[in-house]
């Protein structure tokens, strides 16, 4: 079955060729993203902490002669090559090294407290500070309520008069 000249010209027109090229480009880009193991390796490696005690990410460990880094990186590479999901690789690392291998606590169960607690403590401290300052301010004596002796009253009036003269104000101080 052959295409007529009219239909064949539709597939050979410039817009049709551009559309075909765009579809091929999209397919190539999507397939590259799926098979790019170095991007996955970097993504998973950033989520892990080296277990040598340097407290750096697995990819950022600059501990000279690190005894753990290469072994852990090999495990991640093997997991990616074996077709494991990122979560499965992370779970395997946690199973082998413990939860301290994760760069951030999970957002499930008790680990959720690690995310919430700093903000909760800061909020409670702020509220307590506000109440404390208000309480102190409420119980402070006012200057007008403090009884003055005759000498203090004369010194106070002299100071007020001096302030009026120097600022050229007529108001009550």
111-142 pLDDT per residue, tens? 788 889 999 999 999 999 999 999 998 888 77
Calculate mean pLDDT across residues 145-171.
86
Classify residue 104 as exposed, middle or buried by CB count within 10 Å of its CB (0-12, 13-18, 19+): exposed
pTM, to two decimals: 0.47
Classify residue 28 as exposed, middle or buried by CB count within 10 Å of its CB (0-12, 13-18, 19+): exposed
37-88 pLDDT per residue, tens? 788 888 888 889 888 888 888 888 888 888 888 888 899 999 999 999 989 9
The token duo for 112 is 């959720």
**Superfamily for domain range 5-105:** Cytochrome C biogenesis protein (1.10.8.640)
Where along the chain do its domains lie?
5-105, 111-167
Calculate mean pLDDT across residues 9-34.
63
């Amino acid at each position: 079955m052959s295409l007529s000249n009219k239909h064949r010209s539709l597939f050979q027109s410039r817009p049709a060729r551009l559309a075909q090229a765009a579809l091929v480009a999209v397919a190539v880009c999507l397939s590259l993203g799926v098979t790019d193991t170095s991007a996955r390796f970097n993504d998973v490696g950033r989520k892990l902490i080296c277990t040598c005690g340097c407290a750096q990410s697995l990819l950022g460990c600059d501990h000279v002669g690190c005894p753990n880094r290469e072994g852990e990186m090999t495990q991640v590479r093997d997991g990616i090559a074996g077709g494991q999901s990122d979560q499965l690789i992370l779970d395997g690392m946690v199973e082998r090294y413990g939860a301290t291998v994760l760069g951030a606590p999970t957002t499930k169960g008790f680990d959720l407290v690690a995310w919430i607690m700093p903000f909760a403590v800061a909020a409670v401290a702020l509220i307590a500070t506000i109440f404390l300052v208000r309480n102190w301010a409420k119980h402070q004596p006012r200057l007008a309520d403090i009884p003055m002796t005759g000498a203090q009253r004369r010194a106070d009036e002299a100071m007020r008069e001096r302030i009026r003269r120097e600022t050229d104000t007529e108001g009550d101080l």
